[in-house]
Amino acid sequence: MAIREIVQYTDNFIRKKSKPVKIFDEKLWELLDDMWETLDEKKGAGLSAVQVGVLKRAFIININNMRIEFINPTITHTSGKQYKKEGCLSVVAQPFGYVARPNKVTISAYDRYGNPFSLTCEDWTAVCVSHEYDHLDGILYIDKLVTPPKGMEED
Ligand code: NI
């Protein structure tokens, strides 16, 4: 395992669209293991493969020690709206900012062995999943900054 360097928003690579994973092999597992080591070292909540310089549709999240890997994910349903302050390991030079995200997200994906699963998440987990999912299409939270309606701001 190894800690990988995180691509910053100032590098155009972060804007590239990631490609579907075709082979679920040791190379993918090594990438995911390295992503975990990198995420833990940075004490982040989520990390996408593009952020470590690999254009594969894969991301990991760690919310309250719930550690999940998503390969080739598809968001199949969203509902509600929430405003939370987000940050990003690829935007370390910028302050946190509010983004509007669905309150509930249903996502289908594959695990590292190619087994499909589906998950419905809420609150912070929904924010994190939406944020990482955006990375796969080169979208950053700083593209979506908003001023929340009064009384809707959450930290
Ligand atoms: Ni991010």
User: Per-residue pLDDT tens for 38-83?
Assistant: 999 999 999 999 999 999 999 999 998 899 999 999 999 999 999 9
Show Cβ contacts of residue 53 under 8 Å, excluding neighbours closer than 6 positions.
4, 5, 7, 13
- Note if 132 is an active site residue: yes
| 66-79 β-sheet, strand order | 46-48, 58-63, 66-79, 104-110, 116-122
Distance 135 CA to ligand 1 centre (A): 7
Distance 26 CA to ligand 1 centre (A): 25
pLDDT above 90 for 149: no
pLDDT above 90 for 151: no
pTM of the model: 0.96
Model pLDDT, residue 50: 98
Model pLDDT, residue 21: 98
- Of 37, 132, 153, 154, the active-site residue reads 132
Residue 134 and residue 67 in contact, taking contact as beta carbons nearer than 8 Å: no
Instruction: Give per-residue pLDDT as tens, 76-118.
Output: 999 999 999 999 999 988 778 999 999 999 999 999 999 999 9
